[in-house]
């Protein structure tokens, strides 16, 4: 491989006359431009050589291909890489060279065939797969559509409904399902894969098996009238599920073109649409999220030290409440033996019952067999004493947010757990230094902040103090990966990254309502923007008790920028505490459907009287855009503080924290990415103006002011940021 090339294919011709073309581009054999050119050359070579009778395409090291090289998107978008002629890959290489070849070819698929990878495989004349291989077209999760013929070939192989489902959900299918769908022609073990494929290719040549060009198949495509109905339904679903996204609709249009005007016309429409979507903001945002998510487990100064994660054989959890039982569920689901400790038998049984219910719901949904359920449950043991903690490697404390209780627990843990044991707390707000104050074990104390429900939500905030050892972080990152969480490593402060960024979200909403804005218009505007729910609906869901407890932490720690509204406490006094009491900002019917409640006007008036604020006519007729900005710019402001204080090392980590912890729409790229799309100057000027009108809550922080003054983006490159930090420290130390 030349030093400047990225990946290649190699050709090896066997004595049986079958040329094996292997894609080599670690780690996932992605299809870089170099790989694609090389694939074309390898095919041309195999077609030219008289000793080659048939062809097998496969991927090195048990992975067929993870699809088009996503790292190349940036270059194509920024014009640094010359744009490919539309149709160059889908028509010239895959259709004319591979599918149109006068020698048969078979794809031998192990590991994964995703996106462009599956599109290459579908251009071969047959596909052999292993049962565990993953096959899919997940391009829509990146804001584009399949661009190498997938929109045309997949419907012809598996039928329109299934193809649309696979593309619109981006969910791959396993080899076995692919076989039953007709996407692959046989399932074999990895050892037999290439040999079966080469035999299959020769059988095609000898007309013992059919020579199928997927693009010409018609048997799986529904008659036109029926197809139109399916497409209509898919469009309605896409509009409902993702009203802010255009590319799912483009995908459906492109599929339709192939059905109405023929696959060749479909290929051209696909090629043009792909080029257009590649340059969309949605694609740029989603590609950013793709890499940001993978970047969270790369922590400078921690994961680059060459430390190897230690084996965690057994975990203990303190507290079987909602959080503790959720964490226990997540751990046993990934085969960790768990001890769940409670203070008495009644609480213990309730905790174990919650874990059981979590697993049973998977059985009910058909996601788990009864046998697996029993096996998983057997990993959980209950305890009332610390005796069984003598051989645990990690403890996660998940008791109520009470500092002295936690201090006592950590002092006890130090006595009973082995000296190597990681002592983690699931606190969402309390300073970890305070929690560990009565111990000498601060190097192994760490925050493991899960989000509720812990066995479902994908984020794990790993909180390090200045004393937490890098080994402990590396260990916890590994556990996080094994239980399928996306970890974000952050520094220690009130609320850490997610809750700290999130607190202005509700605060801004309360401020606006007290000054005349409408509760329900705010929630509508925010959900239209793409949040799963608005701030008031969220308060109802979380419950007013929790909202008041966390709010108090922020009032105490950041008094200068906390908006002190009495609205929630006043409502709570009147026995409205959110969804659990069936009354909060909304009223809830038997089916838990939220309905607006005109009664809340009286509570708002009361809160207004206490704060002494008056209604501002301007805030009574805010546009949706104004609402989004007044709610989210304070969030951006806090994110800037979190970033500039070094609580998050990378701005991209905050993007992931916002998407996975707050439900910020990924297609807007996360909080900092979105802010930069609007510009620091604009955000600063808006905050400054509101700060003059409505007080310190909106005051832009120093970092935001500095970036705006320079007209610079909020996100500095990591290199510059680290230089700044190191240089700053040197200056302080002088």
Ligand X SMILES: C[C@H](O)CC(=O)SCCNC(=O)CCNC(=O)[C@H](O)C(C)(C)COP(=O)(O)OP(=O)(O)OC[C@H]1O[C@@H](n2cnc3c(N)ncnc32)[C@H](O)[C@@H]1OP(=O)(O)O
Give the closest residue to 323 by CA, choosing from 455, 180, 509, 136: 455
Residue pointed to by tokens 């190349």: 72
CB closer to ligand X, 67 vs 86: 67
139 classed as catalytic: yes
CB closer to ligand X, 144 vs 547: 144
Number of H helices, E strands in the chain: 30, 19
Cα 658 from Cα 221, distance rounded (Å): 42
- Binding flag, residue 578, ligand X (CB under 6 A): no
CB closer to ligand X, 142 vs 173: 142
Residue pointed to by tokens 């400047």: 4
Give the closest residue to 660 by CA, choosing from 670, 651, 649: 670
- Binds ligand X (CB under 6 A): choice among 13, 45, 70, 678: 70
CB closer to ligand X, 113 vs 238: 113
**Residues 582-621 as x/- pattern, contact with ligand X by CB under 6 A:** ----------------------------------------
Q: Least distance (Å) from ligand X to the CB of residue 153?
A: 11
Q: 380-409 as b/e, with b when 16 or more CB fall inside 10 Å? A: bebbeebebbeebbbbbbbbeeeeeebbeb
- ∠225-219-18 over CA atoms, to 5°? 145
Q: Least distance (Å) from ligand X to the CB of residue 32?
A: 8
- Binding flag, residue 674, ligand X (CB under 6 A): no
Q: Least distance (Å) from ligand X to the CB of residue 293?
A: 8
- Binding flag, residue 69, ligand X (CB under 6 A): yes
Q: Least distance (Å) from ligand X to the CB of residue 72?
A: 8
Enumerate residues 260-299 that contact ligand X by CB under 6 A. 294
Cα 98 from Cα 123, distance rounded (Å): 6
> Pick the catalytic residue: 99, 139, 579, 629?
139
Query: DSSP class of residue 722?
Result: H
Enumerate residues 141-160 that contact ligand X by CB under 6 A. 142, 146-148, 150
CB closer to ligand X, 29 vs 425: 29
Enumerate residues 107-126 that contact ligand X by CB under 6 A. 112, 114-116, 119
Taking CB under 6 A as the binding criterion, the range among 62-70, 160-168, 252-260, 620-628 that sits at the site for ligand X is 62-70
Of all residues in the shown chain, the one whose CB is closest to ligand X is 115
Q: Least distance (Å) from ligand X to the CB of residue 107?
A: 15
Cis preceding linkage at 450, omega within 30: no
- Binding flag, residue 351, ligand X (CB under 6 A): no
Per-residue DSSP letters for 274-316? HHHHHTSHHHHHHHHHHHHHHHTT--TTTTTS-PPPPP---EE
CB under 8 Å to 569, separation ≥6 — which residues? 544, 548
Query: DSSP class of residue 57?
Result: E
Enumerate residues 212-231 that contact ligand X by CB under 6 A. none
CB closer to ligand X, 183 vs 396: 183
- Binds ligand X (CB under 6 A): choice among 21, 23, 28, 56: 28
Q: Least distance (Å) from ligand X to the CB of residue 235?
A: 21
Cα 122 from Cα 117, distance rounded (Å): 9
- Binding flag, residue 27, ligand X (CB under 6 A): yes
Q: Least distance (Å) from ligand X to the CB of residue 348?
A: 36
CB closer to ligand X, 72 vs 445: 72
Give the closest residue to 170 by CA, choosing from 146, 148, 195: 146
Residue pointed to by tokens 């195999």: 46
| Structural tokens at position 579 | 């969804």
Enumerate residues 407-436 that contact ligand X by CB under 6 A. none
- Binding flag, residue 670, ligand X (CB under 6 A): no
Residue 690 neighbours by CB distance under 10 Å: 20
- Binds ligand X (CB under 6 A): choice among 43, 64, 68, 268: 68
> Pick the catalytic residue: 119, 256, 342, 414?
119
CB closer to ligand X, 133 vs 259: 133
- Binds ligand X (CB under 6 A): choice among 59, 86, 104, 138: 138
Residue 630 neighbours by CB distance under 10 Å: 23
- Binding flag, residue 67, ligand X (CB under 6 A): yes
CB of 658 within 8 A of CB of 500?
A: no
Q: What three-state secondary structure class fits 24?
A: strand
- CA distances to 228, 517, 600, 627 from 622, rounded to whole Å, are 41, 7, 20, 6
- Binds ligand X (CB under 6 A): choice among 9, 30, 329, 486: 30
Residue 317 neighbours by CB distance under 10 Å: 30
Q: Least distance (Å) from ligand X to the CB of residue 342?
A: 35
Q: Least distance (Å) from ligand X to the CB of residue 255?
A: 14
CB closer to ligand X, 35 vs 708: 35
- Binds ligand X (CB under 6 A): choice among 139, 461, 514, 655: 139
Taking CB under 6 A as the binding criterion, the range among 61-69, 309-317, 437-445, 591-599 that sits at the site for ligand X is 61-69
CB under 8 Å to 728, separation ≥6 — which residues? none
DSSP H stretches of helix in 49-132:
71-78, 116-123
Active site residues: 119, 139
| Interacting residues toward ligand X by CB under 6 A | 27-28, 30, 66-71, 112, 114-116, 119, 138-139, 142, 146-148, 150, 294
């Amino acid at each position: 491989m030349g030093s400047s090339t990225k990946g290649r294919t190699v050709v090896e011709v066997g004595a049986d006359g079958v040329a094996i073309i292997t894609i080599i581009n670690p780690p996932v054999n992605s299809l870089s431009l170099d790989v694609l050119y090389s694939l074309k050359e390898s095919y041309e070579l195999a077609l030219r050589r008289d000793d080659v009778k048939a062809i097998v395409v496969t991927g090195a090291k048990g992975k067929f291909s993870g699809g088009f090289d996503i790292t190349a998107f940036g270059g194509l978008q920024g014009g640094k890489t010359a744009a490919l002629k539309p149709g160059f890959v889908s028509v010239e290489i895959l259709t004319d060279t591979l599918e149109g070849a006068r020698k048969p070819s078979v794809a031998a698929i192990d590991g994964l065939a995703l996106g462009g990878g599956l599109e290459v495989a579908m251009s071969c004349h047959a596909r052999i797969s292993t049962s565990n291989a993953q096959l899919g077209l997940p391009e829509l999760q990146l804001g584009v559509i399949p661009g190498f013929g997938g929109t045309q070939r997949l419907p012809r192989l598996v039928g329109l409904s299934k193809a649309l489902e696979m593309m619109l959900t981006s969910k791959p299918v396993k080899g076995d399902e692919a076989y039953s769908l007709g996407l692959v022609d046989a399932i074999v073990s990895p050892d037999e894969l290439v040999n079966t494929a080469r035999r299959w290719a020769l059988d095609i040549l000898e007309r013992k098996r059919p020579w199928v060009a997927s693009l010409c198949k018609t048997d799986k495509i529904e008659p036109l009238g029926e197809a139109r109905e399916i497409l209509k339904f898919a469009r309605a679903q896409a509009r409902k599920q993702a009203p802010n996204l255009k590319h799912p609709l483009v995908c459906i249009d492109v599929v339709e073109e192939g059905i109405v005007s023929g696959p060749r016309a479909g290929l051209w429409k696909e090629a043009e649409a792909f080029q257009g979507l590649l340059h969309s903001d949605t694609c740029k945002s989603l590609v950013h999220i793709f890499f940001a998510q993978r970047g969270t487990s790369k922590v400078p100064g921690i994961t680059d030290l060459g430390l190897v994660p230690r084996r965690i054989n057994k975990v203990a959890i303190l507290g079987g409440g909602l959080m503790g039982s959720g964490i226990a569920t997540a751990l046993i689901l990934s085969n960790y033996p768990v001890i769940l400790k409670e203070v008495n038998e009644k609480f213990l049984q309730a905790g174990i019952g919650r874990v059981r219910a979590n697993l049973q719901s998977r059985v009910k949904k058909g996601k788990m067999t009864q046998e697996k359920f029993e096996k998983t449950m057997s990993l959980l043991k209950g305890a009332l004493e610390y005796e069984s903690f003598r051989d645990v490697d990690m403890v996660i404390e998940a008791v109520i947010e009470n500092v002295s209780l936690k201090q006592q627990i950590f002092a006890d843990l130090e006595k009973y757990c082995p000296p190597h044991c990681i002592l983690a707390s699931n606190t969402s707000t309390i300073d970890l230094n305070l929690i560990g104050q009565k111990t000498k074990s601060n190097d192994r104390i760490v925050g493991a902040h899960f989000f509720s429900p812990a066995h479902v939500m994908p984020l794990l905030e790993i909180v390090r103090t200045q004393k937490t050892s890098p080994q402990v972080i590396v260990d916890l990152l590994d556990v996080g990966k094994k239980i399928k969480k996306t970890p974000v490593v952050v520094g220690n402060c009130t609320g850490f990254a997610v809750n700290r960024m999130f607190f202005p979200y509700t605060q801004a909403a309360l401020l606006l309502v007290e000054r005349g804005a409408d509760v329900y218009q705010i929630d509508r505007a925010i959900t239209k923007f793409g949040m799963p729910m608005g701030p008031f609906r969220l308060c109802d869901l979380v419950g007013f008790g929790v909202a008041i407890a966390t709010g108090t932490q922020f009032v105490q720690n950041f008094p200068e920028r906390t908006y002190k509204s009495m609205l929630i406490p006043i409502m709570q006094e009147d026995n409205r505490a959110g969804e659990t009491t069936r009354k909060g900002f909304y009223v809830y019917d038997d089916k838990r459907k939220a309905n607006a409640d005109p009664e809340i006007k009286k509570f708002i008036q009361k809160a207004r009287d206490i704060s002494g604020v008056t209604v501002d006519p301007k805030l009574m007729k805010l546009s949706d855009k104004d609402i989004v900005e007044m709610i989210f710019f304070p969030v951006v402001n806090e994110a800037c503080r979190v970033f500039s204080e070094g609580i998050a090392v990378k701005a991209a980590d905050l993007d992931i924290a916002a998407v996975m912890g707050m439900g910020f729409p990924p297609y807007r790229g996360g909080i900092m990415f979105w802010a930069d799309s609007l510009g620091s100057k604009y955000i600063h000027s808006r905050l400054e103006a509101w700060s003059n009108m409505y007080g310190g809550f909106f005051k832009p922080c120093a970092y935001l002011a500095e970036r705006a003054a320079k007209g610079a983006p909020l996100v500095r490159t990591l290199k510059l940021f680290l230089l700044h930090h190191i240089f700053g420290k040197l200056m302080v130390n002088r």
